[in-house]
Amino acid sequence: MNSSANKYLLFGVASPYVFEVIESAKRAHIEIVGFIHNRPDIEVPEGLSPVFNLEQLDSFNRGIPVIIPLITPGYRKKVETQVYELGFKTCGNLIDPTAIMATSSHWQEGFQVNAGVVIGANCTFGRQVQVNRSTSIGHDVTTGDFVSFGPASVICGTCEIGTGTFIGAGAVVLPEVTIGKNCVIGAGSVVTADVSDYTLVVGNPAKVVKTKIKGYNNISV
């Protein structure tokens, strides 16, 4: 391990979700050495320290891994671009030690896994995927980049989730379903059939509410 392996910066800290990330870091014995606030138009949540704005970054070691504690896929994409433009070398992975992770599953950088998550065998996750607390992901699931799984969502085996898709809290995706890129699955929905790109589905069984939705890096959700 390099000298910065147990030290992270949190970049983009306007969302209260930052405190969930802090809790996972504490359980994983990872030191948060700074909170980078990149939105002067939004107040920083109380209780974060030390907080730095973008004009104060010159002294930072650009080799320290960065975590982006934002739920919305489009905002994570926007901030990741900013992170690399500012010269930081890598986005780190943060896996809560309470999570159960199959040793045969693989992920790219920026992977965030909250408390109580279970991930099955032979899964493959893209860049900057975020798995919120108590989510269950079955075997042989694949995702694109910047996917967000809401709390207590259940993804059954052999599903495919496209880039930038947001799975709402408590949603269930049945086996062998393909969800396209930039989709939104409403909270509590049960997805029984494939979902096309840029589609919002809601309900049990999930039905199409809107197509050609704005989202991902045009932001929304």
**Catalytic center residues:** 139
Residue 220 Rama label (left phi>0; alpha psi -120 to 50; beta): left
Bridging pattern class, strands 148-149 and 51-53: unpaired
Sign for the CA dihedral angle at 140, 130, 106, 87 comes to positive
Give the tokens for residue 200: 């919002």
Give the tokens for residue 94: 């943060």
